[in-house]
Amino acid sequence: MSPDRLDEASKHSPPPGQVPFRSPGVARAWLTRFGLAAFLWALAFGLVSAYWALGGMLGVDQLSPALRDDAGRQETAFVAILWMTAVVKVIGGLVPLALAFDLWLTIPRRVVSILTWLGGILLALYGIGDILSGTVRAIGEDSDGAIWYAVLWGPIWLVGGMLYLGTAWLHRRGNLTMTR
Domain ranges of the chain: 24-179
Position with higher pLDDT, 16 vs 108: 108
Q: How far apart are CA 59 and CA 151, in angstroms?
A: 14
The answer to pTM > 0.85 is no
Look at residue 150 and tell me whether its pLDDT is greater than 80: yes
Position with higher pLDDT, 138 vs 129: 129
pLDDT at position 74 is 77
Dihedral angle computed from the Cα positions of residues 161, 164, 166 and 170, in that order, rounded to the nearest 10 degrees: -160
pLDDT at position 158 is 97
pLDDT at position 179 is 44
Question: Rounded to a whole number, what is the distance in angstroms from the first to the last CA of the chain?
Answer: 21
